[in-house]
Amino acid sequence: MAKNPFKFGSVVDGPFFTNRKREIEKVREVLKSENHLIMISPRRFGKTSLLLKVVGELKRPFLYIDLQMIVSVQDLAAQLLKRMYRHYPLEKVRQLVRHFRIMPRISMNPVTGEVDITFQASAGANLVIEDVLNLMEKLSSTRKKLIVVMDEFQQVISVEKDLPAQMRAVMQHHKNINYVFLGSQESLIKEIFEKKKSPFYHFGMLFPLGKIPEREFKAYLSDGLKGISPVHTRLAEGVLRITEGHPYYTQQLAFHVWEIINKYKTAADPLQQALDELGRMHDMDYERLWNTFNRTDKKIMIGMRSSEHQPLSAAFCQENQIESPSTVYSGLLRLSRRGLLVRLPEGYRIDDPFFGRWIAGRRGG
């Protein structure tokens, strides 16, 4: 039975991983050096998949944590420590934890078999995070250096405003760890790593991750559709035209196109059928999302879909009945922080192309 060659919604690897040879080599070079890496790209551009592919090839231990899910400094320390218990010998970690200045509460979860760890909310944040970060350095070695991946690192400021300074004070002395910071909000990440007054100023190599080159992506899509459609090249071009090369949405649309062709062998227009299917699947979600927008944001999103003018131009404001470019600018920042718009070298774009089509369809466009 034929297997769908496209995958989305989770970390992509093996045959599902799309060609990023140049990016892989750059990441590998940094992780083999004494340096740290700061990778920036919009959400779902494949940062994590790319990084885990390189880490897997290097065969080195790594810890991964998503700062979006962290609620306090004590929580960050507990989550990092929990991951150390997963990856290193239990007794070795226990011996080192005994030297902590503030002891965590450690118990075994009888359902999952995992270690549960908590620090009291009143525990001194400075002492807790310092001890846990230094434990990672002690567990690592020069022969097999630990790679510590911190995703959505721009959230570090929202956890605690002094946390960046606390972390940098400790991490700058580590010799056996490569730190990798992933971020989806370019302006905030650059403020953390490029602003001279920031504790993390120039702490690592800044690496913006762009789209997969169109030629490579087209070849990948065409190859995946080849075994099921004689017009695989035309379909690949159509998919990329709609998604504008966004890795996640390209994989998603290609997946549904493949499924429709596989199910309905004589589908007249599998690309349009896939788009219709995605529209029906997400209709309620998109409607719920639309109802969270204020009036200005609705006008901006409509204009982003329909206008030929740049969003910060006077013509865009006039066409969409918005007061001024400064009002648009505030809206662009607001929508970008929510992950609904992305800023690319060519300008702002609606992140989800299917949402853009939903907006146009609802307005009769």
For 247-265, the pLDDT digits (tens) are 999 999 999 999 999 988 7
Q: What is the pLDDT of residues 112-159, one digit of tens each?
A: 878 889 998 887 989 999 999 999 999 999 988 999 999 999 999 999
Which pair of structure tokens corresponds to residue 240?
């990329």
pLDDT in tens, 211-247: 888 998 999 999 999 989 999 999 999 999 999 999 9
Total number of domains constituting the chain: 3
For residues 290 and 340, the answer to whether their CB atoms sit within 8 Å is: no
Are 61 and 183 found together in one domain?
A: yes
Calculate the average pLDDT of the chain: 91
In the predicted model, what is the mean pLDDT of residues 164-191?
A: 94
Share of the chain above pLDDT 90, in %: 74
Q: For residue 324, which of 312, 342, 339, 306 has the smallest C-alpha distance?
A: 312
Query: Between the CA of residue 3 and those of 7, 24, 97, 233, 270, what are the distances in Å?
Result: 11, 27, 47, 19, 17
Answer whether residue 11 shows pLDDT above 70.
Answer: no
Residue 1 lies in a domain: no
Percent of the chain whose pLDDT exceeds 70: 96
Decide: helix, strand or coil at residue 117: strand
One domain for residues 189 and 246: no
Q: Say whether pTM exceeds 0.95.
A: no
10 falls within a domain: no
Say if residue 242 is in the same domain as residue 327: no
DSSP for 181-230 reads: EEES-HHHHHHHHH-TTSTTTT-SEEEE--PPPHHHHHHHHHHHHHTT-T
Tell me the residue ranges of DSSP E strands in 234-346: 341-344
Q: What number of H helices and E strands is found in the chain?
A: 16, 9
Q: Could you tell me if 199 and 91 lie in one domain?
A: yes
pLDDT of 152 = 94
| Helix%, strand%, coil% for the chain, nearest 5 | 55, 10, 35
* Residue 3 forms part of a structural domain: no
Domain containing 128: what range? 20-208
> Cα separation of 97 and 75, whole Å?
16
Tell me the CATH number at 130. 3.40.50.300
Asked if residue 11 belongs to a domain, the reply is no
What is the band of 16 on the pLDDT scale with cuts at 50, 70, 90? very low
User: To 5 degrees, how large is the angle CA 46–CA 17–CA 229?
Assistant: 120
